[in-house]
A and B are shown apart, each in its own frame.
Chain A
Amino acid sequence: MRIFHLSLANLRKGKSATFSLLVLICVASLLLNIGTAIATRMSSFYEDKAEELHDAHVSLVMNSANYKKSYGDYIRFYPGVEEAEMERVILLPTAMLRLNQSDFSIRTAVLNADSVRGIAPLISGGETASGTSGGIYIPHNLKASGYRQGDPFTLTYRNKTYTYPVAGFFESTLMGTTKMAMLKFYLPDNAYRQLSTALGPEAEGILLSAVFENSADSGTLLRDYNKQFPLSNESVDPGFWGADLETAKSSSALIITIIAMIMVAFAAILVLVSLTVIKFRITDHINDEMVNIGVLKAMGYTSAQILASIVLQFLLIAIAGSTAGVACSYAAMPAFSGVISSLAGLLWTHGAHFGTDLGSVGIVVLLVLAVGLLSSRRIRKLHPAEALRGGLMTHNFRRNHLPLDKAKGSLQLVLACKTMLANSRQNLMLGSIITAITFASVFSVVLYYNIAVEQKAFYQMVGAEKPNVGIQVEPGKDSEQLLQQIAQMEGVEKVNLLDYLTTTAEGQRVTTEFSDDYGKLETHTVYEGRYPQYDNEVVITERLAVRLGKSIGDMLKVEIGNTAHAYLITGLKQSFQAGTNGASLTLAGVRHLIPGHKAMTLNVYLKDGASTPNFIRTAKAEYGDVIQSLTDVDESVKSGTEAYTSAVSSVMVVILAITVLVVILILYLVIRTTILKRKKELGILKATGYTSFQLMTQVALSFAPIVIAGIIAGGVLASLYTNSILELLFADAGITHVHFIIPATLVLTLCFAMTGLAYLVSLFVSRRIKRITAYALITE
């Protein structure tokens, strides 16, 4: 009990230092708890959602005309399938809808809300719904685009618009986000029949769904289906679409996990900052209180008792701070839930997570305990007599840095530098902290710049080609002839064909792109070797190459159904879109696998200044009969990446806000302690005629070099290693080469702003010198 009181007395003695540390630990725990809770939940989020919604683990959609009973049977009897279902739907290969005030083209399936189904029943607002409300049910993710119940929702298909009031929202793991390249909607029976009649048999589709006993077993079905039925894929049927839970996870989980990891990493930095502060506070405490420690030892206190009294105060702060942080995380979670829900397309509920809470508090408290014990172990070796004589040891200056009669520069500056050099340990701590938080801030700014402002490097990283207009050619029409015609149109700079199909390479399911001319692409994803130029060449992703033990110069056998062809590997590429298994073939190369196959997607690049809407209008008017859909890619990308940019912006704002907080807290803590420690010295200087402002400047200047050095170090390290860290973070998604632009102006502005902030905070905190008279400074 006496030790507890001793700790409380120590806490009371340094109220502001205690408060600063409490805030730091609170913010660190808040971030740690949110980050950990998200990362933990994310690991099974999709599986849990699929179970909650009784959603399919694998879904396939195809045009009815291409459907065969054997397809349904294959899925029904595939090993591990617990439940399989087939449902008639309206299938629109490219429907247009409004997302975030932009037109967005996407493959769409419309389901009958009144049909009876076992898999993925229509659940809206937590209850099973039907078509009685008369409106359309839309994916929950579209709420982020501003849709509310009762709002009109318009689908545009083949220049005709179909508008329905929004009856409600539902969640879907596979068909609920644009990232999955398929959205489903539910219409009441009447409206469904009317739409079906209006669109005719051409739009009739089949939805095959499968639920596995164990969701982990669902990963092979699509690959095996593809191998089993080579004529049932997107190369034959433009409406064909297939996805499994793993695909859904990789499309969204990665970015969410990365955001969570960034928060955990920043929390780790803050914990590190707190631990460093604790370490230095304990060291200072021992130095300052050495004589008192000697007295306590002489009185009969054991080392363990004295040590406990020091460590206990920091443990109390850690327990209080981390508990407050965990409590605050519950208040902050709704804001993060919104961001995650919009990224995942699924409602992220924020229930209690006591395990994570306990873990967060436990980690922080244990680390504080460990650092506390390690930092104060010196007490054990201290003999009472040595401690009683200890006062002198704390003022053991070995070198007179910058003698005033020889040093260049103004008196204020030289005195500030002398102070700085005399406090190297404290400055090392301050420098390390400033370096760490500058690193984190620059990292977040680079991330923000490349994802939200100048996205070229981001597209390069994810391997997304970004033409101005995308054209989906009507099935059966001559896409190559259309390409020639489009190339002649006014305002067109270049056109190429770029399409995708699924192949198999030595047992691996591979998303394979093919183009007539890779030279016309804007985004070059091949980082080693070159794109395929001839029909017998292929480029593959690095992860696939590693998986198959292949490298440039090796031959790779690619299959579609029963047809196989060997290609020479000419390069390695990365693609977020294709995941870890991706390949690139030439159009001629694909025809070895599917003779006469055509790419049905045209990428159109317009000249600078050319109007995209004008081009779309003209192309529709002139070639409407061969064009299935035209997409304003700029608009679509804008709306499609909205969730990412807003998530990254939020992360950046949070990190910058915390950086400002840390700079203020740390400088407050350090300068306040410095003034207290140097009280007598400042008093002497005041007595000899130094003005308050001179002393304030001196104190502020004594921290300026180390703050500037820390900021430069953090800025340079972040500029050099941000890409390496991103490569590490994205390695699981097959991204091994990141070339994010380091926005020098922005980074420099940030660094200057931090320097300015630090200097102002230093001046502000050192204002307390002004309030104290020379007499009080000396005699107090």
Chain B
Amino acid sequence: MRKTLLRTEKLCKSFSSGGIQQHVLKNLDISLMEGDFTVIMGSSGSGKSTLLYALSGMDKPSLGDIHFEDTNLSRLSNDQLAVFRRNNCGFVFQQIYLLDNMSVLDNLLASGLLVNKNKQAVAAKAKQLLIQVGLDEASWGKFPSQLSGGEAQRAGIVRALINSPRIVFADEPTGALNSASSSSVLDVMSGMNRNGQSIVMVTHDIKTALRGNRILYLRDGMIRGDLALEAFDLRHYDMRQTRLTAFLAEMGW
């Protein structure tokens, strides 16, 4: 039986701007299972990224609780959340956000050495992961600005995996990539999930969303739909696409 990894209870997030309170997330109760590839979809401004960053402990909820297994993230201090993130989470961003003053390898080690002090071991793991995502030795010493978008995002994925996180959060990881690069990045992510890696991904792209086995649809700060799919398999691509399209149509996409 699969166990629950992340669970929210009446999760609310509000922003205040110019004296006007805006409620972005409203009383969300969600459970995310270990090993799932959960995709959060919704129209612009529906609160997808806000939910992702709240779930990952990057941002604090205004009300409600977020439980990671037995840990209530809402009660952790900022520094405790940092330690939580380094030990349990990996992040893949739309803008990639590699540190532009460091080489690719250093970007990975800057994360890896936070958890494991053994430089050789971390470096070896980073290199192995880089090879796995198709980045050969020639790119390891390059700066992010010298990589293509796809290469940079694959390096970003390796950074997310370097500490063997319990869960990877991806915020529109293919949003800034062309179609070929998107495919290669998504293939890497699907492969990760096949190996048991839990992933939560925000996207508004149907092709990208098809990689998930659970689709949550967010509108006006509330979950309006929850679609369960089988694990991604290219052979059943059309059938998945039909189901997802129907679901989205139902949601008013």
* A positions within 8 Å CB-CB of B: 392, 395-397, 400, 403-405, 411, 415, 418-419, 422, 680-681, 683-694, 770, 773-776, 778
Contact = CB atoms under 8 A, between A and B. Distances in A.
Interface string B47-91: 000000100001110000000000000000011001111110101
Contacts, number: 102
16 contacts: A397-B145, A403-B141, A405-B106, A405-B120, A422-B101, A681-B99, A684-B98, A689-B111, A689-B114, A691-B83, A692-B82, A770-B78, A773-B59, A773-B60, A774-B85, A775-B59
Contacts of B117: 411
B110 interface: yes
B102 interface: yes
A404 B110 contact: yes
Interface of B: 53, 58-60, 78-79, 82-87, 89, 91, 93, 97-103, 105-106, 109-111, 113-115, 117, 119-120, 122-123, 141, 143, 145, 159, 163
B99 to A, nearest CB: 5
A684 B111 CA distance: 10
B119 A681 contact: no
Nearest to B60: A773
A631 B12 CA distance: 87
Given A405-B119, A681-B99, A691 B159 contact: no
A411 B114 contact: yes
Which secondary structure characterizes the binding site on chain A? helix
A418 B78 CA distance: 25
A94 to B, nearest CB: 75
B97 A680 contact: yes
A685 B110 contact: yes
Contacts of A419: 101
Contact of B102 (A418, A687, A694, A776): A418
Contacts of B85: 687-689, 774
B92 to A, nearest CB: 11
A392 B100 CA distance: 11
Contacts of A690: 82, 86, 114
A405 to B, nearest CB: 4
Given A690-B86, A773-B60, A773-B78, 17 more contacts: A397-B101, A403-B141, A404-B109, A404-B110, A405-B122, A411-B110, A680-B97, A684-B98, A687-B85, A688-B85, A688-B91, A689-B86, A689-B114, A691-B83, A692-B78, A692-B79, A775-B53
4 closest residue pairs by CB, A with B: A689-B86, A404-B109, A775-B59, A405-B123
A443 B5 CA distance: 65
A495 B97 CA distance: 83
Contacts of A681: 99-101
Contact of B58 (A396, A687, A694): A687
Contacts of B98: 684
Given A688-B85, A775-B59, A400 B145 contact: no
A684 B114 contact: no
Given A392-B145, A418-B101, A692-B79, A411 B113 contact: yes
A691 B78 CA distance: 8
A197 B154 CA distance: 109
A365 B242 CA distance: 71
A773 B119 contact: no
A683 B113 CA distance: 18
Contacts of A400: 102-103, 106, 141, 143
B71 to A, nearest CB: 15
